[in-house]
Structure formats: structure tokens, C-alpha cells
Structure 1
Amino acid sequence: MHLSAPFTIEVVLNRFVPALAIALAPWCALPAHAAEPLSTETAGDPALETPGLIRNADGALQITPYLWAAELHGRISPFRRGPTIGVDKSFSKVFDDLRLGGFIDVWGRSGRYVLSADLAYVDTREIRGSGPLPGIGPVPPGTKLEGQVDSKLFMATLLGGYRVVDTPELTLDALAGMRIWHVSNKLKVSALGRSRSYRESFGWAEPVIGARVFTNVTDKLSVQGLASIGGFGAGSRFAWSAQATLNYAFSDHLSVSAGYKVLDVDYDRNGHVYDTQLRGPVLGLTYRF
């Protein structure tokens, strides 16, 4: 069975791009976090304690499931022997093909030391049909061709750091660590009761450094900013990210965060290309222990 290159490329891109667009949420140092514990210098002073925030001088732990409504722009080559093609995907197109997705961030602090683990998993599937086709060799006229692309992406960002500024008005954390990527793709094309499949996967690990700043605005509201750079040729050529969120604390243990995030990455190695920018609003729900 002969497959035309344009059909194969279209099926691959419309399947693989949504997987990365949703799951690359992690691709940044950290997702949206809610309100942080008070400074260790002021947690014991009732006059400076802020209602709705954890008052723990020694440490804290918080878990944040989150969403990132990202659109994707750039160029990719999901298969080593495939061409590199420009992509331009809105979030609605990305969401249509989602089968399963999960995104969670864990943030911990002990004194001035901080630790973060950000995990993301996305499984998407797209089925496309083409035809009726003209007669080509043994393929009779009117034949319909169906293509299915399954894509899975796993990403983990592990960061440790130190709180270099710790005051009642402002905290600033310096961060460093590693981000790990793994992408798996399967293309299946069927026609005339026969099918052909092709699988391929690739991945990389890269160093990341960054900073996180947090400040209280009112008793319930706070603002947080995140920025990071990474890659440096030891994975991707270069990657950078920036994020800002506004956080609202419902209680000592529950907060919601909303903001905007941008992730830019340039990976080109061993025939695989992922040179893109993802950007869009983020929404997170944080539970603090």
C-alpha cells in the first residue's frame, strides 16, 4: 500500500502538536502557586500574621493541580525522517484531541530551603480520513484512507533552591535543577482492510535555573512571578519561561491562582525538532498542609 507524503505529514502534525501543546505546561520552572507561608522572621508575631495564610516558621508543603490553556506556535519534526513544518495551533484545537491529561506541582519549604517537583502527562489521539482516492497502482479508484496518530508525553521538572530574601513584604527564591522530557508517537494508516504502523520516541534532559518572587497585596490577595532559563546546549539549545499569577486564599489551606505563562524552547537534535513558543492563561488550585 502506497501512502502519500502530504497525508502522512498532516496526520502526524495534527496529532503530535496537540500532545505537546497541552502537556508542555511544564516546560517552565513551575506552574501557578497559591499563597506562601509567612516569613520565618514574622510568623510568630500576631500583628504581622496574615489571615488565610499558613503561619509556619519551620516549613510548609503545598500541592497544586493546574491547567494551562496554551496555544502553540513554531516548527516541529516529530519523526526523525519527517520534514520540519511550521505549526500554528489554538488551544481549542489542542483540546479536541485530548484523551487523558494530568498536571500537578508539589512545593515544599524547610526553613530557607525550598524544593519543587512538577509532573505532566498527556495522551492524545486523532483519527483522520482521506478519499475517495484516485486509482494508484494496485489501489483501486474510490479507496478511502484512514490515519490514526497516538501521542504520549511525560515531563518532570525537579528544582531545589534557597530563599535569599525573606521579609514580611517579599520573598525571593533562587532555583536550580533539571527538566526531563519523553515523547512517544505511533502512526497507523489503514486502507483496503490492511494497516501499517510506525512507532518512534525521543527524549532529553536539560539543566534549569530560575527565580521565584512572592508578595502579599492584601490579607487574601498575593502576587507571584516566576522566571527561568535552561538548555544551554545540554538538551535543548536554549529555553526560557516567564509566568505571573494573582492568588486568592479562601482559607489557611485552600487557594486559587490565575495568571499567564510563556514557554519558549529550541530543541534540534538527532533529526527531531521542537522549536516552539507556548503561551496562554494558567489556573491552579492549591491545597496547603
Structure 2
Amino acid sequence: MRVSTLICWTILAVAVFLSSKSRAADLTPLAPAPSAVQTPSGWMFTLTPYFWAPDLSGDVGHGRLPPVHIDADFGDLFDHLDFAAMVTGEARYDRYSIFGDIIYTKFSMNASTPRGIVANNVDVDAKSFAGLIGVGYALIDQPNATLDIVGGARIWNVDTSFSLNGGIVGKVLGGFEGGLSQTWVDAMAGLRGNYFFTPEVFATGWGLVGGGGANVDWDVGGGLGYKFNNTISAVAGYRALGVDYDRDNFLFDVVEQGPIVGLTIHF
């Protein structure tokens, strides 16, 4: 196997591990927080740390290599996770809202190469960031129900470094180091809302679609929540996200889906 081919396959492997972010992006439970506490100024604020455990399926490719189909569950991805931070926040005034989401993940892996001829092993470090900023307007704003129309932008960034050690590369070059960085922005629009069955129990959901850097970018989810008091509420549900990015010799056409849980703090 040539060194350049091995490098490309290393990049593809990194894309698999990055997809649990994802990118994840992309992302966050986008439904508005239920019945936040209003401050004297009229603003309402919420902060929601959350965790998403998706499975992954789709196709990835780089350069002249043919696309590779991927089918991995979250357990496979979690084994290589070093660090993850997922949090979203919202500021709301009357029918208007501003919301944002930050996701950061770091993965590392060490894999042996075929037969150890070109190199004995490959070390990979992958960092990813997904940031979303959006605004919304409540089409329905009732004590037991809200429905917002929303729009915004999501930025994706993947930064990967890798090194080949041992084998021919080690003897001839003393090792090899390289990297790949990819960034793009998508415009997003959709709906989000919630409905209270009782003063404590509520349903929540969202649906967004867009594109720009990617050909298409979509995100849907829903769940059930419980409001413990005016400060704390929790939600658990299911989320599916798809993105089709195919530019600059980089293909990332995947669907992620799995359970999601979050804890909302109102202040």
C-alpha cells in the first residue's frame, strides 16, 4: 500500500469517529425550554447541558479513493472518545428568542497498518467543533403550548492530525505527520415547540432543514420532559440528523440517529 493511499484511508477513518459529534453538530435539543422564569427585565434565560448517543450510517470519501460505506453504533465510537462538551442556551423576550449551541469533541486512536510494511501503526488525533446561532418568533405562545419559526446558521469544523510510525516510513523518512482541516457553514430554518399535558409533563420537538456548504443539512427530534420546579427540567427523546457534504474532494454523506437526554436550568 502506498503512503499516500494509507494517509487517505486514515483520513476516512477519522471521519467515522468525528461523526459522533458531531458535528454534530451539529447539535442540540432545539425545542424551546418550557416555562422559563421571567426576570424583572422581561427576559427569560435557559442553559441546557445535554448528551446524544447516535449510531452512524452513510458514505465518506476523500481524494481519488472510492466512497466507503460506514455502519457503526455509538459503542464503537465511544471507545475512542477523549472529551466531549455539549451545551445550548436560549434568551427569550415575549415572542422573540435567540438561541445558540456549542459542541466540542476530541477523539484519538491508534491502529496497526496492514502487515506493518509501510508503517507499523497510525496515531490519529481528531478535534471537531460545531456552532449554531439562531433566532425565532413564536407563532403560538400559550401557557400550555408554544410553536416557534426559527432560522440561523451552523458552522462545522473538523481538524485532524495523524502520524505514521515504523515500517518503511520510519526507516526512510523517520516517520510521517500530516493533517486535514475542513470548515463549512449551512443556513438552517424550521419549527420547534412544546406542549404541556400537565403542569409538569410536556412533549417537545423540532425540525430544521437547510444547506449552503453542504448540499442538504437536516435535523429532527422529539421527546418527553418533566418540569421539577421553576428552575430545573429534564427531557429524554430521540434525534436524527443527516448531512450531505461533497466538496473539495471530501465526501461526508451520513445519517446519525439515537437517544438524547438533557437537563435545563432556568434563570
Q: Same fold (TM over 0.5)?
A: yes
Check the 8 A contact 2:49/2:262 in 1, yes or no. yes
Check the 8 A contact 2:112/2:122 in 1, yes or no. yes
Question: What residue in structure 2 maps to residue 3 of structure 1?
Answer: 3
Q: 1:32 to 1:174 in 2, by over 3 A?
A: closer
> What is the Cα deviation at residue 156 of structure 1?
0.5
Distance in 1 (CA, whole Å) between partners of 2:200 and 2:30 is 16
Q: 1:80 to 1:186 in 2, by over 3 A?
A: farther
Distance in 2 (CA, whole Å) between partners of 1:133 and 1:168 is 65
Check the 8 A contact 2:37/2:45 in 1, yes or no. no
Distance in 1 (CA, whole Å) between partners of 2:230 and 2:249 is 50
Equivalent AA in structure 1 for residue 3 of structure 2? L
Question: What residue in structure 1 maps to residue 163 of structure 2?
Answer: 188
Equivalent AA in structure 1 for residue 153 of structure 2? M
Equivalent AA in structure 2 for residue 269 of structure 1? R
**How large is the Cα RMSD of the aligned pairs?**
2.3
Alignment of 1:163-202 (within 5 A): 163-192=138-167, 193=170, 194-202=174-182
Q: How many percent identity over aligned positions?
A: 28
Distance in 1 (CA, whole Å) between partners of 2:37 and 2:142 is 15
Q: 1:158 to 1:131 in 2, by over 3 A?
A: closer
Question: What residue in structure 2 maps to residue 99 of structure 1?
Answer: 82
Matched, 1:18 2:17: yes
Check the 8 A contact 2:32/2:194 in 1, yes or no. no
Check the 8 A contact 2:31/2:194 in 1, yes or no. no
Matched, 1:279 2:257: yes
- SS of the equivalent of 1:21 reads coil
Post-superposition Cα deviations, 1:24-73, rounded to whole Å, max 9, x if no partner, equal 23325x41668512xxxxxxxxxxxxxxx636693311101111001110
Alignment of 1:186-225 (within 5 A): 186-192=161-167, 193=170, 194-225=174-205
Check the 8 A contact 1:71/1:279 in 2, yes or no. yes
Q: 1:119 to 1:80 in 2, by over 3 A?
A: farther
Question: What residue in structure 2 maps to residue 243 of structure 1?
Answer: 221
Alignment of 1:38-117 (within 5 A): 54=37, 58-77=42-61, 79-80=62-63, 82-117=65-100
> What is the Cα deviation at residue 3 of structure 1?
3.4
Distance in 1 (CA, whole Å) between partners of 2:21 and 2:156 is 14
Distance in 2 (CA, whole Å) between partners of 1:146 and 1:62 is 46
Question: What residue in structure 1 maps to residue 130 of structure 2?
Answer: 155
> What is the Cα deviation at residue 255 of structure 1?
1.3
> What is the Cα deviation at residue 195 of structure 1?
1.1
Equivalent AA in structure 2 for residue 218 of structure 1? T
> What is the Cα deviation at residue 22 of structure 1?
2.9
Distance in 1 (CA, whole Å) between partners of 2:127 and 2:116 is 30
Distance in 2 (CA, whole Å) between partners of 1:241 and 1:132 is 41
Quick check: which has more Rg, 1 or 2?
1
Distance in 2 (CA, whole Å) between partners of 1:11 and 1:200 is 10
Number of positions where the alignment pairs a residue of Structure 1 with one of Structure 2? 261
> What is the Cα deviation at residue 151 of structure 1?
1.1
> What is the Cα deviation at residue 164 of structure 1?
1.2
> Please, what TM-score do these two structures have when normalized by structure 1?
0.83
Matched, 1:255 2:239: no
- SS of the equivalent of 2:49 reads strand
Q: 1:25 to 1:270 in 2, by over 3 A?
A: closer
Equivalent AA in structure 2 for residue 210 of structure 1? G
Q: 1:155 to 1:80 in 2, by over 3 A?
A: farther
Q: 1:261 to 1:12 in 2, by over 3 A?
A: same
Matched, 1:129 2:112: yes
Distance in 2 (CA, whole Å) between partners of 1:56 and 1:133 is 63
Check the 8 A contact 2:21/2:104 in 1, yes or no. no
> What is the Cα deviation at residue 210 of structure 1?
1.1
- SS of the equivalent of 1:23 reads coil
- Unmatched runs of 5 consecutive residues or more in structure 1: 38-52
> What is the Cα deviation at residue 171 of structure 1?
0.8
